[in-house]
Structures are given as structure tokens and as C-alpha cells.
Amino acid sequence: MDVTTAHTTEGRGRLYASLLDTIGNTPAIRINRLAPKGVELYVKAEFFNPAGSVKDRLAFSIIDEAERNGSLRPGQTVVEATSGNTGIGLAMICAAKGYPLVVTMADSFSVERRKLMRMMGAKVVLTPRAEKGLGMYRKAVELADANGWFLARQFETDANARIHENTTAREILADFDGRRLDSWVTGYGTGGTVTGVARVLRRERPETRIILSEPANAQLLGSGHVQARNTDHSPAESHPAFEPHPIQGWTPDFIPQVLQEAVDDRLYDELIPVSGPDGISWAQKLAKSEGILTGVSGGATFAVAMKVAERSDPGAVILCMLPDTGERYMTTPLFDAIPEEMTEEEAALSRSTPGYRLE
């Protein structure tokens, strides 16, 4: 019997001059088994970016704009403080363009992130976890000042929100052209995604509610406490509402200047806190029920999107950001319950036939 598959592909219809040309145009994917009945819930899967996260967009924008305005010289070393994804994106960009990269990162973040950056040629300088995000930020500033390196300044640069205004937001508009989009849900790290996308949605899809989330035990925005800043807009001190949380990539111990625009201009309609355990639980459910592998930040965003979906009227359409892949969380609590060795059930399956058994 002749059996053919119903799934075919035809190629992208173009050849790429560089890996960097593949950044963006990530898909919005419908959730079929977990979404409440009558609600259309989609996720924007940023792990389709070449280095696996939404921060590929930011990394490209920082380097591209710095090259264009002359602030980054050929061969100059780039330095940045990062919890991982921006550093991984910068490592990819710098490797492709030939820039040395030094990353400063608190030693509390996952080991695989260090290895990924080092694999692409970056040097990773660890800072004490007790000094939190501000410590790794200040170390990057020290190194830049001492060596004349280019400081990427992801938390302050205009290139951050601008890339999301020009790419992420445009993709959302195109994907939902002629369709409802009742709510868009995101978390924040630097604030670039929410600020850049919200600029466009406020103008062109004002009916879309913008839902922002942050860790329940580190509600910097929810506290209402104003961030102290230096004259260059960098944080002057740690925010008093910050506590360590397991949602890596979200909410450093200060409110970034890029995010401040979203606060000042009321670019979000609702702020919903989410716990780290909820983020882990929903990331695991996404993997087991939908085959979608995302990290704790993606799980946390999805947890909030599910809350929004459950209270929505039938016919509502919701889009949720998934910032990265789950593979860079292997040494975090996300995988603590995932065994390395065979379970009893797996061992019983092995014993159920006579051959090739691992004793």
C-alpha cells in the first residue's frame, strides 16, 4: 500500500547570507489541550530564534546600532551583565561578526548558560550571588571603564525597545491581521519587549489589553516604590522589594530604565504576579501536554495567560510570550523532578522482553 505523509515542506524560498538574518519571525502557535474551552490561546515561541531566546533580537539590535553610529569600533571588546539569554545572544552575534565578548553574570544562574557562552568564544566573569543583579551590572561597568570596552547597556539603551517595536510588534500585527486579539501577556527582564510591543499595540490595536507579570515574591512594580537612579539612568541601588526568585531572566533587583517608559506612559493595563513554583509547574505541563519546551520564565508567563484565559468570555483570543527554550534550565528546579535513571515503570518495560536489558 502506498502511504504518503500529509505534512510536506517547500523551503523558505530564500538563502541566508548569515545566521543573523534568521533572527525574528517567530511563530504564534495555538494551545490545543491546555486552553480553556472556547478560548483561543496562542504562544509566541521565541525559542525559534537561532540562539534560542527573545534576547537574540536585543543582542543584534545593540551591536547593529553601535556599528552604525560608530560607538563600537572594529575588533573592540564587548562587555555586558546578563542572567544568560542576552549573553548567549551577544555571544552568537559577536562570534558571527568577530568581536571579543566578556559577560559578567552572578553565579546563581544555570551552569549551562555559562557553557553555551563559552562554547561561542565568550569569557564569563562570575560575580557573587549575594551582590545580585546590581553586582554583575557594576562589574561590567568597571571592566568597560578600566579597559575601554564597549558596554552594551541592555537595561538603558534605546536599541532595546526599538527592536521589539520594529520586529516583534510587527510580527504580532501581521499574525493577527483581521483577527481578534483581546490580550497580550508578557513578563519583563529589561522591559524591552513590553515597552517596544506596547508602543505599537497602543497605537494600532488599542482594543488589546496588555498584561504584564512579575514574580510574586519580588513585586518591584507592584510595590509602587520608585527606583533610585544615577544621572546616566543606571540604577543607583537595589530595589527594596526585590527577593531572590527562580524565574531566571525576569526582574533583576532594580527597575531598568527601558521598563520605566512602560510604567510612566501606562503601557500595560494590568499587573499580575506569579509564583516561581507556578512557573515551573506550567512549563512542565506545556512540555507534557503540548510538546512545547520552554523555560521557567515561559512557564510563568503562560501561568498568567491561563489565568486571563480562564476568566475570559468565550471567543476571546490571547497571545502569550515564551521567551526561551527549556534546555538551558537543565540544572535548575525545572528539571529537579525529572529522573536521570530508569523509573520503576521503565525498568518493568525493560524486563517485559528478554533482550537488551540494562541490569
User: From the candidates 44, 55, 132, 139, which is the catalytic residue?
Assistant: 55
User: In this structure, what are the phi and psi dihedrals at residue 17, rounded to the nearest 5 degrees?
Assistant: -75, -20
- Is residue 55 among the annotated active site residues? yes
Give one DSSP letter per residue of 197-261, joined into a string: HHHHHHHH-TTSEEEEEEETT--HHHH-PPPPB-TTS-BSS--TT----S-TTS--SS--HHHHH
Residue 228 CB partners (closer than 8 Å, separation 6+): 235, 236, 237
The secondary structure of residue 324, as a DSSP letter, is B
- Is residue 285 among the annotated active site residues? no
Residue 265 CB partners (closer than 8 Å, separation 6+): none
User: From the candidates 53, 110, 213, 297, which is the catalytic residue?
Assistant: 297
Q: Considering Cα of 31, then 35, then 39, then 41, what sign does the dihedral take?
A: negative
Helix (H) or strand (E) holding 273: strand 270-274
Give one DSSP letter per residue of 67-104, joined into a string: HHHTSS-TTPPEEEE-SSHHHHHHHHHHHHHT--EEEE
Instruction: State how far the Cα of 212 lies from the Cα of 206, in Å rounded to an integer.
Output: 16
CB 79 within 8 A of CB 144: yes
Written as nine digits, the cell of 233 is: 539612568
What residues act catalytically? 55, 297
